[in-house]
Amino acid sequence: MYATSFSPHILHLPVKLHSTTTSSSHTLILFTGYSRFKSPACPLSNASVFSRVKCLIKSTEQNEQQIVNDDGDGVDPEVVDRSERLVTDSPTLGIREPIYEVVEVQSNGMVSTRKINRRHLLKSSGLRPRDVRSVDPSLWLTNSMPSLLVREHAILLNLGTLRAIAMQERVLIFNYNRKGGKAFIDALLPRLNPKNVIGGPSLPFELEVVEAALNSRIQRLEQKLMDLEPRVQALLEVLPTRLTASVLEELRISKQTLVELASKAGSLKQMLLDILEDPHEIRQISIMGRNCTLKKDNYDMECSVPLEKQSAEEEEEEIEMLFENYLQRCESCHGQAERLLDSAREMEDSIAVNLSSRRLEVSRLELLLQVGTFCVGVGALIAGIFGMNLKSYLEEQAFAFWLTTGGIIVGAVVAFFLMYTYLKARKIF
């Protein structure tokens, strides 16, 4: 831009200009006096300053719309990436848009790692910002409960360390480096290989993703339970006879692991029960990718082609059987974990009773010794009295020593038995 006249009052405005080849930031200098600008994007005359800024912003928005589209078709990917970085790192607003690093698995089995920002993710999946919260890796502390959300064009999965968005032709996997993500990828890729399909039509891609996710999650729980069960059984056999610090510590760790396992299995079981009790969720899964809609009052299907409605109804039954199968496996895992946990708690209670009994015996022994010490102390008191260097005329008698010693011993024994009888009558012994 070129100015023909200058004024002491100058206003600097940071403006972003986008083009199909380069992305840069410029500074628009507005003069409050009479100025003439030359700009190929927006010819200006001696109009007001605000109208000039409005015209420049309008042209900038048109260029931005030409650069960023839903799929990036017909546009250089490097240009799109640069434009997204411009919008992401906005110096004007000071807000950094989150960028997710995900693994994308397509329906043909191709796997790729990519980075995608929130805006592009929402556009490509048809989701709303509040939907992405359930799979956002940065919110793993607040969204720890498993969930399966069904939307019009996508299914959101949150199964602990596995967080993914399943669509008709692809699935985006967050936290793919964690155990849940790795197990899910290992379970999904063999399903997408046509050589591994044995008889019968294959499920739609989004159902393959859901089944692989549930299968990998429940298999991990079952494997952990199978590794933990022999250890708990061995502890239950050893503990009644061996009460050592190492054995008790191992019991504590095993019990803590069982509590965590039962909690995870119970949460997953509750999620599956909620889905099975809500026919709207299952029907919404069955009509994904079809020209069908659900009525809002009774959730009945309305399809433009009768054949599609029949296929959706058959798929609905298959989806329900699929969830029923994994619900039974989850209930079995949860029930076995609860039984082992109850056995560990019973053994812990038995150990507590045994330790209390031992502490009671030790306390009785301590009380018995205290009574004996008291009786002997009384005799020591008498001996101390005679130890004073005062004349009592008993020291001149030969039998006084033996008489006093015998009296102390007999008195101590009698006092001990009297106190023991009293304490036993009060059921202290």
Note whether residue 300 is domain-resident: no
**What single-letter DSSP state applies at residue 13?**
E
Structure tokens at 172: 């985006």
Q: Which of 69, 91, 68 is nearest to 16 (CA)?
A: 91
- Could you tell me the CATH number of the domain that includes residue 133? 2.40.128.330
Q: For residue 368, is pLDDT > 80? A: yes
- What does pLDDT average to over the chain? 75
Dist. CA 405–CA 414, nearest whole Å: 14
Q: For residue 26, is pLDDT > 60? A: no
Q: Which of 210, 156, 218 is nearest to 188 (CA)?
A: 210
Most confident of 22-26, 60-64, 251-255: 251-255
pTM of the shown model: 0.64
What is the average pLDDT across 217-244?
88
pLDDT at residue 269 in the model:
93
Final residue of a domain: which of 197, 218, 251? 197
Quick one: 125 exposed, middle or buried, by C-beta within 10 A (0-12, 13-18, 19+)?
Answer: buried
Structure confidence by residue, pLDDT tens digits, 340-360? 999 888 888 888 888 888 888
Final residue of a domain: which of 169, 197, 225? 197
User: Model confidence at 303, in pLDDT bands (50, 70, 90)?
Assistant: confident
Note whether residue 113 is domain-resident: yes
pLDDT at residue 333 in the model:
93
Lowest mean pLDDT among 187-191, 265-269, 297-301, 342-346: 297-301
Note whether residue 342 is domain-resident: no
Q: For residue 99, is pLDDT > 50? A: yes
Lowest mean pLDDT among 136-140, 181-185, 247-251, 252-256: 136-140
Strand spans (E) along 84-185: 99-106, 111-117, 147-150, 155-159, 162-166, 170-174
User: Model confidence at 141, in pLDDT bands (50, 70, 90)?
Assistant: low
pLDDT at residue 30 in the model:
39
- Could you give the number of structural domains in the chain? 2
Structure tokens at 401: 């020593």
pLDDT at residue 298 in the model:
63
- Percent of the chain clearing pLDDT 90 (strictly above): 19
Note whether residue 191 is domain-resident: yes
Final residue of a domain: which of 167, 197, 227? 197
Note whether residue 181 is domain-resident: yes
Note whether residue 110 is domain-resident: yes
Residue 380, domain extent = 359-426
Dist. CA 227–CA 257, nearest whole Å: 11
Note whether residue 176 is domain-resident: yes
Dist. CA 6–CA 268, nearest whole Å: 71
Note whether residue 405 is domain-resident: yes
pLDDT at residue 201 in the model:
53
